Structure 1
Amino acid sequence: MTRLLLIPPDTRPPTLEHPAQLARMTGAEVRVPPPEALPHFFTPGDTAVLRAWLLDEAQEAGALVVCLETLTLGGMIPARRVSDSLNVVLERLDVLREARALNPKLRIYAFGVIVRVAHDNDPHEEKPYYGEWGAALRTYSTAFDRHARHGAAEHPTLEAARVALPPEVLADWVGTRERNRALHLTALDLLASGTLTQLCLTLDDTTPYGLAAFDRRMLEARADELGVWDRLDVYPGADEVPCALIAQALRPQRVQAWVTYSGTLGAGAELIYEDRPAGELVRAHLRAAGCVLADSPGEADFVLAVNTPGIRQASFQPDFATVDTPHRHLPAFVDRMRDDLAAGRTVTLADIAYPNGSERRLWTLMQALPLADLAGYAAWNTAGNTLGSAVAFGKLAPLAQRPADHAEALFARFVDDALYQAFARAEVRGRLDNPSPFDLAEQRGAAEAHLRQIIAPRIQDLWARHFAGRALTLELGEPHLAWPRLFTGVFPLRVREG
């Protein structure tokens, strides 16, 4: 049995419990740090406690999957907010060398998240001043990158964007980015030296132009110098990366995936939070998990079914302008999944037509499928989040040792991505008094009460329709919210045999 250590970006179910479920279903023993070592929302975890835990656990572990921001800055969100110096950050990073010295056989799969330029003016996940200056900072970000790429013609736009910002705000914001980029450059050195087995540097909520794209190019140039591309991936993603790296750690062999899209032009579909079309994003996520595109269905180890928008993602559904268009045909897509399942193929579904939840029309059509026979399913947050989970399911599901463990991981995604994100979340919001998307404040209690009332019977009904008769029992805890906002729900559940 492999003992796997997991240091996640934070403690939300998709970033902690979901990758742990994927690992446990293969029979691996998963160890995670104590709660005080991990972040809660924008409060950093205790990096000293984390260091001690890691050095103690590393001696008997086979693999470590680690978020560099949690290890050195207290979490993925705190990494965008705290003022810790670069010297302190790099001292904390050195614990990875110490862990390898204690256990030379330890395989370290690390990932860092290139600092995003948030699309929303969120003062909690970003610096507090982002609530006021977010739009101006986004304008500067785009102008800076355009100037870096296209030269003097873009200088007047860049200068106008610069003078529109308070100098101290701009200096602090850019300084945080530079510190985190230096962290990632040092991680590339650790990869080159052999301390790291695999490294992912991912772009969270990225766009074709911006400071994240500028950082990406600098990191890629350093990777060219070091010659580490055989063990490095740089691509759009963030919260789902633990799933991809767990797939690498627990099934190191490269496996083949046959990809089908909901439309014949699906590979060219545009995405809101990524800098490339769907087909290129699929290829990047397959590689990060140690998978390649198969040349034919017969050669594939699993089928990755991808529900893409007709032309481009849209934020709200239904959208008949760019998503639900004649460029795809959902009934035929569902028919193909039914045929693949009937033929005994391993099928995992990534629904990326809309961000932040399942496409409601597709979910309705899917009720005619034997959903419990799917190897995997995902439809959460960004297209990258969804693809990383779905690909990891496809690679790891054949290793599942007990039906209950696989059913638990799969059903948890049905509950969160479809029942909550696509349906119940908006219904809960509609019962509240104009809630802030960033902080529910005193309305959190009412939100959680509404959530339990709405979703609990739907969870039981979904289980009865698709998992009854499989000698499995669902144990459901009390649904609640991960943070004081509606974005992430928590649905404690366990599946037992018998």
Structure 2
Amino acid sequence: MPPLSDTPPTVLLIPPDTRPQTLELPLQLATMTGATVRVPPTRALPDFFTPGKTDVLRDWLLGEAGQANILIVCLETLCLGGMIPARRVSDPLETALERLALLETVKHQHPDLQIYAFGVIVRVAHDNDPHEEKPYYGQWGRELRAYSAAFDRHARHGAAEAGALETARAALPEGILADWLETRERNRALHLAALDLLSAGVLDHLCLTLDDTTPDGLAAFDRRMLEARADELDAWPRLDIYPGADEVPCTLLARALAPQTVRVWVRYSGLGGAGAEMIYEDRPAGELVRAHLRAAGCVLADTPDEADLTLAVNTPGTRQAHRQPDFATVDTPQRHLPAFVDALRADLKAGRTVSLADVAYPNGAERRLWTLIQGLPLAELAGFSAWNTAGNTLGTAIAFGKLAPLVTDRAVHAEALFVRMVDDALYQAFARSEVRDRLDNPSPFDLGEQRAAAEAHLREIITPRIEALWKRYFSGCGLELEVGAAHLAWPRLFTGVFPVRIRASGI
């Protein structure tokens, strides 16, 4: 797959936030292909639940658009200050729409600029998190979730669910419910307006994704409304609506930088892997894979020999589970990991492009699989991903694989691949729980005064493991590793930051 032109493209990226997976990883994936990536100044971007500065973003975009080929933009950052702030701020719809209109202005001024946008349908959070949601969600999360499910059942089934809906409504303070619903309605209206921009040709492609979703609830209700409008506009050739969120910058980079359709052979860890249930998505693994492939500009191959990419997907036996090991629904006779690893070894030996997505558990690699693949040449993988939701993992692995043939900077590719192994396996699957065990009953939402201790424990535990992983798999590749001080992206253990730099030996 050749690059877009003889001159490497320049990409503008307005990310959902500044975590490594949403900012640094897309930069690495683009840079490894030779593309130039520009991002807004740090002060313009959101920091956890603190909104970014939309006026600074506007000025930056107007100043940079004339020197770029591609814009990848998170609508929530551009219009409401960030993906998390969009669930918290009270900016009126009119203000958000005025900010959205900037994309029309930019397209009018620079008609050759390709604009790839994405928005995140407001989630109904599984946890009572008072920081990523409105502060009152910490107290009323359970009741708001119950209302969400009852509302959607009533919308789908009618009068038979009216009593359950009224009971759920009565359990909530009127003001809290009204505020929560107004936030959702504003964001849905923003996405409807984005569909109009897509129909008008302002946007080249639009992804509207569902974050931490379930088969029913207000997010499902919003999805159906957006799908109905997409039907009216005949927007589907340039639109994807599916479960995902943080990985979409990587997905759209793969679509933009490698515009040719790529054929993908999907190899599951179990013969029935496509039917495995996901915890944070509204559909089984196979349908989730198809959705993420389409969003990245890929299609399923009929045979491995005709495929450009092999996507190896470690699915649970029947359903994801939170705690490892889980012998009830994950590590079951419905899959056979040794055979899966044998197939990976054969694919790599045959010279196939292989990207590994591990979705057996959310929030980290499966420890058993990580142990079994230690005999593989891990540095030869095109991609590796096992972070957060299944959608996050799949979108990342697919982007790695689709962009692999375009790699011009081997050191940057190795850096992106290595950091995913460090974060998703060494940290998320192993070290994170070890750090937690050393703390004094830490809150999952805010470490408070224990943050410094957590980061000190993190560095002590993980630094020698990072060096050992490098020595075993990457040290003979003509590359050198520089390890910085590991720390936390936010005041919680959920997201680590592992500042490693890889360069060619002797440079």
Shorter chain as denominator, the TM-score bin is over 0.9
Equivalent position to 2:77, from 61, 70, 87: 70
Once the two structures are superposed, what CA deviation does each residue of 1:188-214 show, in whole Å capped at 9, x if it has no partner? 000000000000000000000100000
Equivalent position to 1:268, from 275, 278, 287: 275
Equivalent position to 1:83, from 82, 90, 93: 90
Q: How does 1:248-263 map to 2 (within 5 A)?
A: 248-263=255-270
1:450 matched to 2:453? The reply is no
Report the Cα offset of residue 446 of structure 1. 0.2
Equivalent position to 1:411, from 398, 413, 418: 418
The aligned counterpart of 1:236 is 243
What is the distance in 2 between the residues matched to 1:279 and 1:363?
A: 22
Equivalent position to 2:351, from 329, 341, 344: 344
The aligned counterpart of 1:302 is 309
SS in 1 for 2:18: coil
SS in 2 for 1:338: helix
Equivalent position to 1:429, from 429, 436, 439: 436
What is the distance in 2 between the residues matched to 1:300 and 1:71?
A: 37
The aligned counterpart of 2:5 is none
What is the distance in 2 between the residues matched to 1:288 and 1:20?
A: 19
The TM-score with structure 2 as length reference comes to: 0.98
The aligned counterpart of 2:483 is 476
What is the distance in 2 between the residues matched to 1:417 and 1:408?
A: 14
Report the Cα offset of residue 99 of structure 1. 1.1
What is the distance in 2 between the residues matched to 1:218 and 1:472?
A: 50
Equivalent position to 1:399, from 402, 406, 412: 406
Equivalent position to 1:149, from 134, 156, 160: 156
The aligned counterpart of 1:98 is 105
| 2:429 partner letter | A
- Note the aligned Cα RMSD (angstroms): 0.4
Q: How does 1:152-191 map to 2 (within 5 A)?
A: 152-191=159-198
The aligned counterpart of 1:25 is 32
What is the distance in 1 between the residues matched to 2:429 and 2:106?
A: 42
SS in 2 for 1:285: helix
What is the distance in 1 between the residues matched to 2:106 and 2:226?
A: 25
What is the distance in 2 between the residues matched to 1:240 and 1:310?
A: 25
SS in 1 for 2:348: helix
Once the two structures are superposed, what CA deviation does each residue of 1:34-85 show, in whole Å capped at 9, x if it has no partner? 0011000000000000000001010010001100000000000000000000
What is the distance in 2 between the residues matched to 1:228 and 1:298?
A: 33
Once the two structures are superposed, what CA deviation does each residue of 1:381-427 show, in whole Å capped at 9, x if it has no partner? 00000000000011001110021111011001001100010000000
Equivalent position to 2:502, from 480, 495, 498: 495
What is the distance in 2 between the residues matched to 1:303 and 1:205?
A: 27
1:485 matched to 2:492? The reply is yes
What is the distance in 2 between the residues matched to 1:103 and 1:411?
A: 37
| 1:448 partner letter | E
| 1:171 partner letter | A
The aligned counterpart of 1:38 is 45
SS in 2 for 1:209: coil
| 2:223 partner letter | R
The TM-score with structure 1 as length reference comes to: 1.00
SS in 1 for 2:305: helix
| 2:189 partner letter | A
What is the distance in 1 between the residues matched to 2:215 and 2:201?
A: 32
The aligned counterpart of 1:289 is 296
| 2:287 partner letter | E
1:196 matched to 2:197? The reply is no
SS in 2 for 1:30: strand
Aligned residue-pair number: 498
Report the Cα offset of residue 299 of structure 1. 1.1
Q: List runs of 5+ in structure 2 lacking aligned partners.
A: 1-7
Equivalent position to 1:382, from 382, 389, 393: 389
Report the Cα offset of residue 100 of structure 1. 1.0
The aligned counterpart of 2:224 is 217
1:369 matched to 2:376? The reply is yes
Equivalent position to 2:61, from 51, 54, 57: 54
Q: Tell me if structure 1 keeps the 8 A contact 2:480–2:502.
A: yes
1:132 matched to 2:139? The reply is yes
Q: Tell me if structure 1 keeps the 8 A contact 2:31–2:409.
A: no
| 2:48 partner letter | F
Report the Cα offset of residue 494 of structure 1. 1.1
Report the Cα offset of residue 103 of structure 1. 1.1
Report the Cα offset of residue 255 of structure 1. 0.6
What is the distance in 2 between the residues matched to 1:313 and 1:125?
A: 23
What is the distance in 2 between the residues matched to 1:319 and 1:471?
A: 40
The aligned counterpart of 2:4 is none
The aligned counterpart of 1:11 is 18
What is the distance in 2 between the residues matched to 1:397 and 1:427?
A: 34
Report the Cα offset of residue 144 of structure 1. 0.3
What is the distance in 1 between the residues matched to 2:409 and 2:250?
A: 19
Report the Cα offset of residue 108 of structure 1. 0.3
| 1:249 partner letter | A
The aligned counterpart of 2:213 is 206
What is the distance in 2 between the residues matched to 1:293 and 1:374?
A: 20
The aligned counterpart of 1:111 is 118
| 1:343 partner letter | A
What is the distance in 1 between the residues matched to 2:66 and 2:482?
A: 35
SS in 1 for 2:245: coil
